């Protein structure tokens, strides 16, 4: 096994911690395949894995990290508190359970997965995350799928600003307003479904840019995220794509190419609407 350290840049969070800007997502990786897929990602050079209790594959992520023989500090692990674990005590318990499945003493980043506004417990849940960070069970804390009103409320009621907001973001759904709001609060933007689960990859404008650089459209889209400053973690179970998605540091998109991709924004979500998504 060759596990040399990678050349991925890091982004500094508002609590002073560093996060590798490119990682590996494991949503929809079957639990029984996750240790193998994550091992292949680590071998390809990824040192940041994004999982969640709801993905039911934290155990596989943990197994791969332990089997790789890496120092714990050499791998950045994110997991998330799901909708049925909102509430102060329950959220605290949820991280303990995730840590057991990961077989780890701490994670690097713990997120509230969805705000679930109809339950109205995300402020309490956020207070639990603040305490979990103070206890050292997670280095950083953040949120996912939070809209501006949700962000403003947790900041106003606790005085603690999330380090990141992990949101759906890709060329067809660029979230310009929310990214601006993040910038104003010093919140790092993490992009989920960065490739729109493959739906953007045949776009004619992206094909033209990919041909100009001799790369794939997937590589162009990941490069676009990195140049915007997003933290990004494409998912693939396919060896060639796992390697390809990590090989994005040998070319740079021009300003004109960044503008051409900006023009693709259609304001169309592929995933659920955070204002209404409640699925436990
Ligand atoms: N916080 C949230 O609510 C939330 C929601 C969704 C996702 N996420 C996170 O974001 C991560 C990534 O998002 P995602 O998994 O939804 O979608 P994605 O990364 O945008 O796309 C994954 C899909 O694209 C395919 N693919 C990957 N690389 C490719 C390439 N180079 N060329 C062609 N096809 C390629 C994969 O196929 P194969 O696997 O078959 O190769 C898979 O079907 C997740 O794994 C998860 O960690 C978070």
SS (H, E, C) 172-234: CECCHHHHHHHHHHCCEEEEECCCHHHCCCCCHHHHHHHHHHCCCHHHHHHHHHHHHCCEECC
Buried b (16+ CB within 10 A) or exposed e, 93-107: ebbeebbebbebebb
Kindly state the tokens that stand for 15.
Answer: 């609590």
Atom of ligand 1 nearest to the CA of 272: 3
Query: How high does pLDDT run on average in the chain?
Result: 96
pLDDT at 159 over 60: yes
Helix (H) or strand (E) holding 97: helix 88-102
What pLDDT shows up at residue 123? Answer: 98
**Residue-level pLDDT at 7:** 83
pTM > 0.75: yes
**CA distance linking residue 79 with residue 112, whole number of Å:** 9
- Which residues lie below 8 Å from residue 240, measured CB to CB, with a gap of 6+? none
Kindly report the protein residue whose alpha carbon is nearest to atom 39 of ligand 1. Answer: 236
Q: Name the token pair of 179.
A: 């990214």
The domains of the chain are located at 10-195+231-236
Instruction: List pLDDT tens digits, range 221-262.
Output: 999 999 999 999 999 999 999 999 999 999 999 999 999 999
Residue keyed to tokens 């503008």:
259
Q: What separation in Å is there between the alpha carbon of 194 and the centre of ligand 1?
A: 7
Determine the topology of domain 10-195+231-236 in CATH. TIM Barrel (3.20.20)
Query: Which residue is catalytic, options 55, 76, 110, 122?
Result: 55
Helices and strands counted in the chain (H then E) = 10, 10
Answer yes or no: 55 catalytic. Answer: yes
Q: In the chain, pLDDT over 90 holds for what percent of residues?
A: 96
Bridge partner list, 19: 11
First-to-last alpha carbon distance for the chain, in angstroms, is 39
Instruction: List Cα–Cα distances, 135 to 32, 105, 123, 126, 239, in angstroms.
Output: 32, 11, 19, 14, 38
Ligand 1 pocket by C-beta < 6 Å: which residues?
A: 25-28, 50, 113, 144-145, 166, 192-198, 201, 216, 218, 233-238, 241, 244-245, 271
Q: Which tokens sit at 72?
A: 């714990």
Given a cut of 80, whether residue 280 has pLDDT beyond it is: no
Residue 20 CA to residue 41 CA, distance in Å, equals 14
pLDDT digits (tens, 9 = 90+) for 167-224: 999 999 999 999 999 999 999 999 999 999 999 999 999 999 999 999 999 999 999 9
């Amino acid at each position: 096994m060759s596990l040399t350290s990678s050349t991925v840049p890091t982004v500094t969070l508002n609590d002073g911690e560093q996060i590798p800007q490119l990682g590996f997502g494991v949503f929809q990786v079957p639990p029984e395949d996750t240790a193998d897929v994550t091992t292949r990602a680590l071998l390809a050079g990824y040192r940041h894995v994004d999982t969640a209790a709801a993905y039911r594959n934290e155990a596989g992520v943990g197994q791969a990290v332990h089997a790789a023989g890496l120092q714990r500090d050499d791998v950045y692990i994110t997991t998330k508190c799901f909708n049925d674990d909102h509430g102060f005590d329950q959220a605290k318990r949820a991280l303990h359970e995730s840590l057991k499945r990961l077989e780890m003493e701490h994670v690097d980043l713990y997120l509230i997965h969805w705000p679930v506004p109809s339950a109205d417990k995300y402020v309490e849940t956020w207070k639990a995350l603040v305490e979990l960070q103070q206890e050292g069970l997670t280095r950083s804390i953040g949120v996912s799928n939070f809209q501006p009103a949700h962000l403003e409320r947790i900041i106003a009621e606790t005085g603690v600003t999330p380090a990141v907001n992990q949101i759906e973001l890709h060329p067809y759904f660029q979230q310009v307003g929310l990214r601006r709001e993040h910038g104003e609060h010093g919140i790092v933007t993490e992009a989920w479904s960065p490739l729109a689960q493959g739906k953007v990859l045949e776009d004619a404008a992206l094909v033209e840019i990919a041909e100009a650089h001799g790369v794939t459209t997937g590589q162009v889209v990941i490069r676009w995220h990195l140049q915007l400053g997003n933290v990004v973690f494409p998912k693939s179970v396919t060896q060639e794509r796992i390697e390809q998605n990590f090989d994005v540091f040998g070319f740079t998109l021009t300003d004109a190419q960044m503008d051409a991709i900006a023009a693709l924004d259609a304001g169309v979500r592929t995933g659920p609407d955070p204002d209404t998504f409640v699925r436990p």
